[in-house]
Amino acid sequence: MKFKQKQREEQAEPDGTEEADKVAYLLGLNSADMLKALCYPRVKVGNEYVTKGQTVPQVYNSVSALAKSIYERMFLWMVVRINQMLDTKQARQFFIGVLDIAGFEIFDFNSMEQLCINFTNEKLQQFFNHHMFVLEQEEYKKEGIIWEFIDFGMDLAACIELIEKPMGIFSILEEECMFPKASDTSFKNKLYDQHLGKCNAFQKPRPAKGKAEAHFSLVHYAGTVDYNISGWLDKNKDPLNESVVQLYQKSPVKLLSTFYPPVVE
């Protein structure tokens, strides 16, 4: 969907309705109602609801959050349905597991999405290393096999802990999202205060001339990645436009309305 800024105002408005009409049709919504809810959502102020105009970036963030929400709920619903269909009461000793994830990503511009993907890869690589190299050699020891212990030098704990531990990157990001006046700059400053010079996996970036701006670098198992933190606070909050959610709840597409049950206050 496309949006533009009204002349002499910061208010967003639809830039054509072709894409919105298609989206609304698939979701069982009225296109005009959906666009109005995106550009002029009703928000609760105290005990009352007021209509609040949105800027173009705010509308696009709202669209992204709503799309992500539908995808997430659809994915979880599919997992439950598949497990229900494949479930058996018969005793079994073997199973087949399928793992499909995005590969490690190193782009010219790396944001929060790349960090999440690379963090997942880091965890899986650590799991693989531990089971294939550490536990396997412990098994040799138990069986009395004579061999020379091999250190593969692939302990990724430092990078993983830097991201997920208390006062790690994710923890600091969550903390910053709780402060109304937090900004990209305050987030960056906290990261530097907490980790720069204290953790070898966290470094100050040195992007080559002409490359995208970066705010910090992480030394991953697959290479050093420069990350840009612009907009991470908004991405992490991922607020849903409640006016659009209310339209979802009334949609004749039963699966969609099931994903968003009414909240009892």
* pLDDT single digits (tens) 71-89: 999 999 999 998 888 887 7
Mean pLDDT of 8-20: 92
- Would the pLDDT of 228 be above 90? yes
- Would the pLDDT of 238 be above 80? no
* Cα within 13 Å of Cα(114), Cβ side: 17
DSSP 110-134: --HHHHHHHHHHHHHHHHHHIIIII
- pLDDT band of residue 265 (cuts 50, 70, 90) is low
- pLDDT band of residue 38 (cuts 50, 70, 90) is very high
pTM over 0.85: no
- pLDDT band of residue 154 (cuts 50, 70, 90) is low
- Would the pLDDT of 92 be above 80? no
* CA-closest candidate to residue 171, choices 180, 185, 161: 161
**3-state SS, one letter per residue, for 44-80:** EECCEEEECCCCHHHHHHHHHHHHHHHHHHHHHHHHH
